[in-house]
Amino acid sequence: MPQLWQGRASKAVDDRVNDFNSSIRFDARMLAEDIAGSLAHSAMLARQGIISEADKDAIHAGLKSILADVENGALSVDPAAEDVHTFVEQTLTARIGSAGKRLHTGRSRNDQVALDLRLWLRGACAGLQGQLSELIGALCAQAEAGAGYVMPGYTHLQRAQPVTFGHQLMAYVRMLLRDKGRLADAVRRMDAECPLGSGALAGTTYPLDRFDTAAVLGFAAPCQNSIDGVSDRDFCVEICAALSLCMMHLSRLSEEIILWCSWEFKFIELDDAFTTGSSIMPQKKNPDVTELIRGKTGRVYGDLNTLLTMMKGLPLAYDKDMQEDKEAIFDAVDTLALCLKTLTPMLATMTPLPANMRAAAARGFINATDCADYLAKKGLPFRDAYKCTGSMVAFCIDHGKTLEELTLDEFRTFSPLFENDVYAAIDLTACCEGRASYGGPAKASVLAQVKAAREALEAQHG
């Protein structure tokens, strides 16, 4: 396929330059969006009297036949075309003749590509939103079932205070709901302004109706400034930043899954269908999926860095550097979609092991704060209660006991305030249930969090 821009040069462009310049191998995935933009543009050109109705009808029939043929396999994208815009326009002209040559009136590939990428990302983000909702749904179901499973909560990866399995999972649900909100914000801003009609950079002398094409293509308004219209890639950066943050959350969750399914923790058992084996060690059952998610997080951060670095030195308006935006943002979208596709069923099918969680909770003095609180509630200043409990923990470590294994006499050697009710106060389930503060680990609180999360999902869909 020849270039669209033949005319000025005295000789053919070197093959190596053509190969280097071409973006068809990755921008062909915007074909449907390119055609949607061309349908809106040509309809508007006819309405404004810039092209004839007959030409518009021929253009529309031709564009629709190209889309249908590519979708049903009758037409394949020509890898020799410079880019998707070239492929569509030249195929159109081959099919309908000179009317096809009028399509590009009052338009440039610069506003065209800025539009196509926005439209493509709109669809891609809707897909990711649906996948995130499914993951949130799976976590809510596990949290609901495990709302009363006592496990150690950690700080510094040291056993700290009692929480519940459901409580811990719902922390991830909060992160994922924020991810969804961030993505929705970025898309809302992207959809606020349509670049079509910006031309190469300086608008056009044709009487375009930019409000018409903006509305038809689902934007709130045309962009205010044509130079900004063709040179802005903030939407790519914003979406990639939102995806990076989401990957960070998936990576932290993956790390916990990896720990929890190890023999050292054994808080969960993964379904065999979501684990892998070793070629030499017959006993192995590996959480490769979550390790890959942790690994792929770096890729998406890299994509964000690519976009930020690619844009930072560009003079206005369009520069060819910007062709590099697509591979980066496509990779970020593809990577997150791939991770979610596997992580959600993996989490939905994992089996929590509450007895092991409980056994871990029994070791590590995670009720020490509750013991200090007990003394404080009996009138001892908290700092003194803290110190007293610290010496009790040291005593227990020396004697190989847990706090609840101390006899009442032993308790009383530390403080006369201890009575028989101390056992109930430091019982692990009671410690969890006692933490009924808003957002805390008590079963009722976790169930309330699950309900709120499901309502938030509903509200996002509504």
Shortest CB 236 distance to ligand ARG, Å: 12
Q: Minimal distance in Å, beta carbon 90 to ligand ARG?
A: 14
Residue among 83 and 232 whose Cβ is closer to ligand ARG: 83
Q: Say if CB 199 and CB 108 are below 8 A apart.
A: yes
User: Among residues 34 and 370, whose Cβ is nearest to ligand ARG?
Assistant: 34
Q: Which residues contact 254 (CB under 8 A, 6 or more apart)?
A: 287, 289, 290, 291, 293, 294, 343
Catalytic residue among 262, 278, 391, 399: 278
Among 33, 34, 55, 83, binds ligand ARG (CB under 6 A): 83
Which residue lies nearer to ligand ARG by CB, 106 or 162? 106
Q: How is residue 367 annotated by DSSP?
A: T
Q: Give the footprint of ligand ARG on residues 210-239 (CB under 6 A).
A: none
Q: Which of 156, 279, 437, 461 is catalytic?
A: 156
> Coil, strand, or helix at residue 351?
strand
Closest approach of Cβ 319 to ligand ARG, in Å?
9
What's the CA gap between 50 and 197, in Å, rounded? 14
Cβ–Cβ contacts within 10 Å for residue 396, how many?
Answer: 18
Of 267, 274, 318, 411, which one interacts with ligand ARG (CB under 6 A)? Answer: 318
**Which amino acid, residue 154?**
Y
Active site annotation includes 104: no
Least distance CB 12 / ligand ARG (angstroms)? 18
3-state secondary structure of 144: helix
Options 23, 168, 297, 335; binder of ligand ARG; rule CB under 6 A: 23
d(CA 357, CA 222): 56
Is 60 a residue of the active site?
A: no
Measured between alpha carbons, how far apart are the two ends of the chain, in Å?
47
Task: Kindly state the smallest distance separating residue 36's Cβ from ligand ARG, in Å.
Answer: 17
User: Who contacts 449 (Cβ-Cβ below 8 Å, separation ≥6)?
Assistant: 143, 166, 167, 170, 173, 439
Of 111-130, binders to ligand ARG (CB under 6 A) are 113
Q: What single letter denotes the amino acid at residue 46?
A: A
Count of residues of this chain found to bind ligand ARG when the rule CB under 6 A is applied: 10
Phi-psi category of residue 199: left, alpha or beta, with phi > 0 → left and psi -120 to 50 → alpha: left
Question: Among the candidate windows 109-117, 236-244, 269-277, 288-296, which touches ligand ARG by CB under 6 A?
Answer: 109-117
Check binding of 3 to ligand ARG (CB under 6 A). Answer: no
Q: Please state the length of the chain.
A: 462
Candidate ranges 38-46, 57-65, 176-184, 318-326; the one touching ligand ARG (CB under 6 A): 318-326
- Binding residues for ligand ARG, rule: CB under 6 A, are 23, 27, 83, 109-110, 113, 318, 320, 322-323
Residues acting as catalytic residues = 156, 278
